Structure 1
Amino acid sequence: MKRFALGFAMAATLSFPAFAGEQYIDATGFAVSGYDVVAYRGLPQNPVGTPQPEGVAGRADITADYNGATFAFATAANRDTFLSDPAKYAPQYDGHCAYGVSKGGKVPGNPNLWRIVDDKLYLNITRNVVGFWEEDIPGNITLAEGNWPGIEPGEASENPIPNFVSSAPAE
């Protein structure tokens, strides 16, 4: 009976996204600093060790709400795609730095330091951190997945993303 209960608990944990609070929102007032989370799927993904292309800025007049935040999109079609499965397109760890979560903390994710792994969007905070993240992406994801449920809502750093200037959606 204990095996069944443990197996059920594991299956339930793996089938539902873990939330440690609402989506990270910076001074722009938008999730992912106003970048279109669906548009990342259409950008070329560069090999590990090379920078990714910059994200695509969304528009303030094309938005959708999810996980306590407003997401902006470059096109209405991207917004509609997002609304069909928001959990698929929203960044992992509520938009916090994936490497930071792997180390047990919550710091902002930079929308121009991204990678899609197993059809999930991950953000990191600085180029240096991307280097650490890319040394062992699968291992860092495993660590982050283990840490994420134990990170309390509201524990996010209030520090801005270093060296990041948002091209936030225009009003």
Structure 2
Amino acid sequence: MKTVSRWFTRLFLLTAMVYAPITWALEPVYSDFFGHAIKGYDPVAYFTQSKPVKGDSDYQYQWNGANWRFSSEQNLQAFKAEPEKYAPQYGGYCAWAVSQGYTAKIDPDAWSIENGKLYLNYNRSVQKKWLQDPQGNIAKADQHWPRLLVE
């Protein structure tokens, strides 16, 4: 029995050594039960169409541990070229929650773009709180985010 236990321990340690650098390099992305970022909505559409647009399973891309969907090939290619430009801030978690020091899921319809960056919120009621002081909330969220990455 000890031999089996040692074998599993060694296997675990070896696996951790191989995958740990990859995991540490990734920023967590909020995804739904199916692994879709932004609940399957197209991140590029927020910028190009100024509204949330449901992505299509024909246009998908794996990035940062999540499956991103797009409404067109053009949007998919734009994201592939510059994912950091289009991906929501704070890994797609509710930006207001991050400004308060915790993470929460999002509603794709509760969003805003500030200084060329996409911010998502839990719901429209929370979005109203976010929009009362977006710059102040961004400053607070930026302070909390690095700590939330390791918790």
Q: TM-score, structure 1 length as denominator?
A: 0.70
Matches of 1:20 and 1:116, distance apart in 2: 23
- Which residue is equivalent to 1:138? 135
The residue number in structure 2 matching 1:128 is 125
Count of aligned positions: 127
**Which structure: greater helix fraction?**
2
Q: Does residue 115 of the first structure (1) align with residue 112 of the second (2)?
A: yes
Gaps spanning 5+ residues in structure 1: where?
A: 1-18, 45-52, 156-171
Give the deviation of 1:20 after TM superposition: 8.2
Q: Which of the numbers 81, 84, 99 marks the counterpart of 1:84?
A: 81
For residue 25 of structure 1, what is the amino acid of its counterpart? Answer: S
Counterpart amino acid of residue 41 in structure 1: F
Classify 1:137/1:42 alpha carbon distance in 2 versus 1 (closer, same or farther; 3 Å). Answer: same
Higher RCO structure (Cα 8 Å, ≥6 apart): 1
Which runs of 4 or more aligned residues in structure 1 lie more than 3 Å from their structure 2 counterparts after TM superposition? none
Mind listing any 5+ residue stretches in structure 2 that lack a counterpart? 1-24
Quote the Cα distance in structure 2 between the aligned partners of 1:144 and 1:29.
Answer: 24
Once the two structures are TM-superposed, the CA of residue 113 in structure 1 deviates from its matched residue by 0.6
Between the aligned partners of 1:140 and 1:87, the Cα distance in structure 2 is 20
Highest CA radius of gyration, 1 or 2? Answer: 2
Structure 2 residue aligned with 1:38: 44
Question: Match for 1:72 among 69, 72, 88?
Answer: 69
Q: What's the CA shift for 1:137?
A: 0.6
Question: So what's the TM-score if we normalise by structure 2?
Answer: 0.79
State percent identity of aligned pairs: 40
